[in-house]
Amino acid sequence: PLSLGVLALQGAFSEHQYSLATQPGPVYHLTAIQTVRTAAELATVDGLIIPGGESTTMALIAERSGLWEPLVEFTRTKPTWGTCAGMVLLAQTASGAKRGGQKLLGSMATHVQRNRFGSQLDSFEVELDAPCLAPFDRPATGEEGPLVDVIPFRAVFIRAPVVTEWDSVLVQVLAEIPPSASPSTVAEPVAVLQGLCLATAFHPELTQDHRWHQFFLSLVARQQTSLGPS
C-alpha cells in the first residue's frame, strides 16, 4: 500500500489529486492521496508530487512553514516528482527569473531556464514521445491488452521551464521538445529522471492520460519493494 503526497502550498495540487484518484484499474495499491503542508504530513508519505504554480512563491511559503529543510531531505532520499514549477524547485540552478536568484531544493543535477517559451508561447500543447511510458500503454478501455510501441503523449506547457544543462551521468533524459516546437535550435529535455527524482516541464495532470502518474507510482512502488515490508 502506497501513500502519495501532493505538496499543497500553492499551485495546481488539486489537479494532481484528481488525476491520482481517477487512475484506471487497481494498478498500484494507492491507499492514500494526501495533501502536504507541514513537516509532520511530509513524514507520512512514501512519495511526493511538487505541482506546477509559481516556484518562487512556493519556496517562500515552504520556508515560512518550516518545510524547506524537510523538503530538501525528502527529495534527496524518497521518490519525488516535480511538474513545471516543481521541476524548477528540484533543479540545482535556474535562470530566467525576473528578479534575482531564488531558493532551490537542488536535488537534481540540472540547470533549468524558467519561462523558456516566452510570452508568445506562454501556453501551448504538443505531442511528444517518451519511450519510458510504453509499459503503461493500454487500450483506452483500461483493460489489459497488448502493449503498443510508443504512443505519444500530449504535453501541456504553461509558462514552462526546460532543462538546458544536466549531468549526463546522473540524469536520464526521458523526453525532449524538438526545435520545431521551441525557440531553441536543438532538442531540449522536458522530462528527466535522476534516481528517485522525476521532473517534467509539462502538466500531465491536465490531461486524461494517466501514464506519467503511473510511471511515477511505479518508481514509488519499486522503492517500497526494495525497502521490504515495514
Whose cell is 527569473? That residue is 97
Q: Rule CB under 6 A: choose which of 88, 108, 130, 217 binds ligand GLN.
A: 88
H helical segments located in 98-199: none
Q: Is 55 annotated as a binding residue?
A: yes
Q: Rule CB under 6 A: choose which of 55, 110, 164, 200 binds ligand GLN.
A: 55
Task: Identify which of residues 20 and 162 has a Cβ nearer to ligand GLN in the complex.
Answer: 162
Residue span binding ligand GLN (CB under 6 A) among the ranges 34-42, 83-91, 185-193, 213-221: 83-91
> How far apart are the C-alpha atoms of 126 and 181, rounded to whole Å?
8
Residue 223: CB partners within 8 Å, gap ≥ 6? 46, 47, 78, 79, 196
Verify whether residue 203 is a known catalytic residue: yes
Verify whether residue 16 is a known catalytic residue: no
On whether the CB atoms of residues 151 and 143 are closer than 8 A, the answer is: no
Q: Is 53 annotated as a binding residue?
A: yes
In DSSP terms, 110 is beta-bridged to 166
Verify whether residue 84 is a known catalytic residue: yes
Q: How far is CA 170 from CA 17, 158, 185, 197, in A?
A: 29, 27, 24, 11
> Taking the complex as a whole, how short is the minimal distance between the CB of residue 214 and ligand GLN, in angstroms?
21
Longest dimension (CA), the chain: 51
Q: Rule CB under 6 A: choose which of 5, 47, 53, 204 binds ligand GLN.
A: 53
Rule CB under 6 A: say whether 158 interacts with ligand GLN. Answer: yes
Rule CB under 6 A: say whether 52 interacts with ligand GLN. Answer: yes
Looking at 132, 205, 210, 213, which residue is catalytic? 205
Rule CB under 6 A: say whether 10 interacts with ligand GLN. Answer: no
> How far apart are the C-alpha atoms of 149 and 82, rounded to whole Å?
26
Per the annotation, where are the binding residues for L-glutamine? 53-55, 114, 158-159
**Catalytic residue list:** 84, 203, 205
